[in-house]
Structure 1
Amino acid sequence: METAGLADSAAIDSHVDFNPEYGNEGSALNTTHTVRSFRDLDTNDSGREHPIVTLFSGGLDSSYLLQCLTRSGYRDIHAVSVDVGDDETSVEKQRIADTLGIHLHVIDARETFADEFVRPAISAQAVYLDTHPISSSLSRPLIARVAVELARDVGAHTILHTANRSQNTLRRLNGAIGLLGFNGAYGSPYELDPISRDQKIWELKQAGLEEMAGRVVSGDSNLWCREFESGILDDPEDHVVPEHLYRWSVTSHARPEEQVVIRFRAGVPVAIDGRELPLTELIAELNLRAGAFGIGRYSGLEHLAGGEKVLEIREMPAASLLLRSFRHLETAVLGAETIREKIHMEQIWVREAVEGRWFGELRDACQQFIHTCANRVHGSVRWRLTAGAAHTNAIVAEQPLYLRDREEWEKQSAGVRPA
């Protein structure tokens, strides 16, 4: 899409920005515009021959956007699906792409997501206002980065996503794309054009995608979290989560208690029960083992850009154990004053991630301090898992500050000599 064709829309904000990585081929590449409505796409006759990149999850909103683009005559559509451990399969996504006649790019980013985004979130104790671990705030910057790279590779001047005004993803994706210096049009046409779920389902059914009728909530999933919102979960004052939505935290009947040992090296979880595992596999195993006891379900309110609050439901069994394990070991090796300052720094880190400033300088500066603290976290935590709960029965740290024999310490610190 040519950004010059978008410039006349009143629903677009623009500012001048230049990044040499995207070349210097006229003013269209030097001006950044935010797409905010479907009218921006419908009135852009001159850009329909140019490549356009859309973020594609395989869900209702992203499938409907693709259908709208093909119906409007866009001929070179590149849908990018970034695999961070989500629920939708590549087969399902490919079927939608084939039905609508668009190019599908599936990028396996699970290891990158775990190493570059989840790992620092563990050491940062990334919990939103002491209610639930953050999740989409971690995946969105990675997804944005992949989209910007694809746009550069295929020569696209436009990146679209499908967040709406009641989703925090809107500012997280827009913020990340902007901080990455993309010089083109980007944004979500849903921002100023909300479309009912029934209308989207009906139009997709006409296009041959009848399976979309079963979507009763909006879901977002990755290897760290499965999250649900909207639809039947709109009202915080009256909501019930259908049990079938959960996958990890489904309790087994008459399951006996179980013990699990999680070992950390320099702040990174590296082993379960003595078996060293890549972080992706370690998280996957803990999701199932802890989830089998009903551990790791969360519900809470998050604020939108204007301060309004929306309900979000999560299941995060591995996150529950890993964050608590890290805090136990961190407390064992760091001084109290350092921990107090780190807790303050953690909330700054979380705020920057939540507000879409992952690639900003403030989060990066906080990360340096947090990383320095995490380098001292070596050891293991042994958990006893029972129905609905996890209890520690061993915290073992290298170079710990804790006492193992208080009476002996009291004698030594008081200078009492053995009789």
Structure 2
Amino acid sequence: MHTPPIRSFHQIESGIDPAVPIVTLFSGGLDSSYLLLRLRQVGLTAIHAVSVDLGEDESSAYKQQIADALGVKLHVLDRRQEFAASFVAPAIAAQAVYLGVHPVSSTLSRPLIAQSAVELAATLGAQAIIHTANRSQNTLRRLNGALSLLGYQGLYGSPYDLDPVDREDKLRALQAAGVDLLDGRVVSGDSNLWCREFESGILDDPEEHAVPDSMYRWSALDTQAAPRSLTVSFEAGRPVAVDGERLPLVELIAGLNDNVGQYGLGRYSGLEHLDHGEKVLEIREMPAAWLLLGSYRHVETACLDAELMREKQHLEQIWVREALEGRWFGELRLAAQQFIDACAGQTTGSVTWQLHVGGGETRAIVAPRPRYLRDRERWEAQSIALEAAPYSAPLPPLV
């Protein structure tokens, strides 16, 4: 029989054995820190907080400080390489952009976080995996969906779903317990090596939102940045080099975030729907994504047949929808991935950009087996000559 998900603190207090291990997802933020405190207050003694390092802003030392203060065991799992290779790279090939507005980000990180938690729970014999997403966050269905599709047999879910706690109440409770979090945050943030994202707080109202420039790190504009040429290369659908230097994908993305971001490029804003159709505002900075997604489409266009690309573009939004709705491990997303991978196998080439403050243009699109023409007039003459040959012979006489 299917066990209903955890949706309130009451379920935790009444339905969890305090002596059996539990795993919580821990970011070092207010919600996840307060969750640890609340679990300790109800007498749980085997709490394991897991932090999956995907290149986020918060340091492991800061998270360890909070975990120590609350008396819980912290597990920091470095999954940056796996995230880049198995989640970001497929998203580049799938041109994973939400409704043409912004590249997806937490859509990619949540499945790997859930998978990491399931693996840790198995080694610990944990009875539950608890996270902190609330109903105004798409993370709720993405984590719950991933945990379900991964076949986790224990309890899982977020007590904040039906039992939210006021921000000031959480801060006061933590301070009373001797835990002082980094203060002064005016928005909710999420970050990984692919994206820095902001929402809520001063960004709650889509009709009036202004992001302080100080919040941008990767795309902080350097008005003195000189124009520069930059070439990114792909092999079989994977980014492999910048300006001819081959780099692991994690380092390649980090370098592009710096080199592209200094021109003020890669900022996105837009609305994203919640589980029941309501929309919320999200702000992102993704300089590497700006360049890599655009470059990939150019190389792909140089390599693939037009009809194949039209069908791929249809499947791209199916891929995005399934991943976004928490079905990364679902059959339809995996089936779409096979088609996209087949296209990626033919996508090899490079794009050279001329970057300048506020923009960039292509200067070269190169593929080893291209479908593009480099001399239209010559091609036209050759094409006419081939087609005209049958018509050059004299017509047979009329009988």
* TM-score (ref. length: structure 1): 0.91
The structure-2 alpha-carbon separation of the partners of 1:42 and 1:213, relative to structure 1 and needing over 3 Å to count, comes to farther
Q: CA deviation at 1:208?
A: 2.0
Looking at structure 2, the residues matched to 246 and 70 of structure 1 have their Cα atoms a distance apart, in angstroms, of 36
**1:38 has 2:9 as partner:** yes
Looking at structure 2, the residues matched to 398 and 198 of structure 1 have their Cα atoms a distance apart, in angstroms, of 59
* Aligned counterparts, 1:18-417, within 5 A: 32-44=3-15, 47-415=17-385
Looking at structure 1, the residues matched to 17 and 184 of structure 2 have their Cα atoms a distance apart, in angstroms, of 34
Give the AA of the match of 2:311: E
Give the AA of the match of 1:49: A
Secondary structure, in 3 states, of the residue corresponding to 1:43? helix
Q: Deviations over 1:25-83 (max 9, x none)?
A: xxxxxxx3300011112223x61111010000111111111111111111000000000
Q: 1:33, 1:184 within 8 Å by CA — same for their partners in 2?
A: no
Q: CA deviation at 1:215?
A: 2.4
Give the AA of the match of 1:329: V
Q: 1:205, 1:212 within 8 Å by CA — same for their partners in 2?
A: no
Q: CA deviation at 1:231?
A: 1.3
Give the AA of the match of 1:43: S
Give the AA of the match of 1:39: H
Q: Deviations over 1:332-352 (max 9, x none)?
A: 111111000000000000000
Secondary structure, in 3 states, of the residue corresponding to 1:282? helix
Looking at structure 2, the residues matched to 47 and 33 of structure 1 have their Cα atoms a distance apart, in angstroms, of 17
Q: CA deviation at 1:198?
A: 1.6
Range moving further from structure 2, 67-76 or 285-294: 67-76
Give the AA of the match of 1:66: L
Q: Deviations over 1:305-348 (max 9, x none)?
A: 10000000000000010000000000011111100000000000
Looking at structure 1, the residues matched to 181 and 339 of structure 2 have their Cα atoms a distance apart, in angstroms, of 48
Looking at structure 2, the residues matched to 105 and 33 of structure 1 have their Cα atoms a distance apart, in angstroms, of 27
Secondary structure, in 3 states, of the residue corresponding to 2:352? strand
Q: 1:201, 1:212 within 8 Å by CA — same for their partners in 2?
A: no
Secondary structure, in 3 states, of the residue corresponding to 1:352? helix
Q: Deviations over 1:164-209 (max 9, x none)?
A: 0000000000000000000111000000011222221221222222
Q: 1:85, 1:221 within 8 Å by CA — same for their partners in 2?
A: yes
Secondary structure, in 3 states, of the residue corresponding to 1:47? coil
Looking at structure 1, the residues matched to 179 and 230 of structure 2 have their Cα atoms a distance apart, in angstroms, of 44
Looking at structure 1, the residues matched to 168 and 185 of structure 2 have their Cα atoms a distance apart, in angstroms, of 10
Q: CA deviation at 1:224?
A: 0.4
Q: CA deviation at 1:210?
A: 2.1
Q: Deviations over 1:266-309 (max 9, x none)?
A: 01000001100000000000000000000000001000110000
Which is higher, the Rg of structure 1 or of structure 2? 2
Paired residues, number: 387
Q: CA deviation at 1:161?
A: 0.4
Looking at structure 2, the residues matched to 138 and 200 of structure 1 have their Cα atoms a distance apart, in angstroms, of 29
Looking at structure 2, the residues matched to 48 and 161 of structure 1 have their Cα atoms a distance apart, in angstroms, of 17
Q: 2:298, 2:365 within 8 Å by CA — same for their partners in 1?
A: yes
Q: 2:234, 2:240 within 8 Å by CA — same for their partners in 1?
A: yes
Q: 2:57, 2:191 within 8 Å by CA — same for their partners in 1?
A: yes
Question: Which residue does the alignment assign to 1:11?
Answer: none
Looking at structure 2, the residues matched to 119 and 87 of structure 1 have their Cα atoms a distance apart, in angstroms, of 21
Looking at structure 1, the residues matched to 240 and 260 of structure 2 have their Cα atoms a distance apart, in angstroms, of 17
Q: 2:96, 2:320 within 8 Å by CA — same for their partners in 1?
A: yes
Range moving further from structure 2, 64-73 or 268-277: 64-73
Q: 1:333, 1:400 within 8 Å by CA — same for their partners in 2?
A: yes
Structure 2 unpaired stretches of 5+? 389-399
Q: 1:53, 1:156 within 8 Å by CA — same for their partners in 2?
A: yes
Looking at structure 1, the residues matched to 369 and 348 of structure 2 have their Cα atoms a distance apart, in angstroms, of 8
Q: CA deviation at 1:244?
A: 1.6
Structure 1 unpaired stretches of 5+? 1-14, 17-31
Q: CA deviation at 1:213?
A: 3.0
Looking at structure 2, the residues matched to 214 and 68 of structure 1 have their Cα atoms a distance apart, in angstroms, of 23
Q: 1:60, 1:212 within 8 Å by CA — same for their partners in 2?
A: no
Q: Deviations over 1:232-272 (max 9, x none)?
A: 11111111112221110001131111111000000100000
Looking at structure 2, the residues matched to 252 and 266 of structure 1 have their Cα atoms a distance apart, in angstroms, of 34
Secondary structure, in 3 states, of the residue corresponding to 1:271? strand
Give the AA of the match of 1:247: R
Secondary structure, in 3 states, of the residue corresponding to 1:294? coil
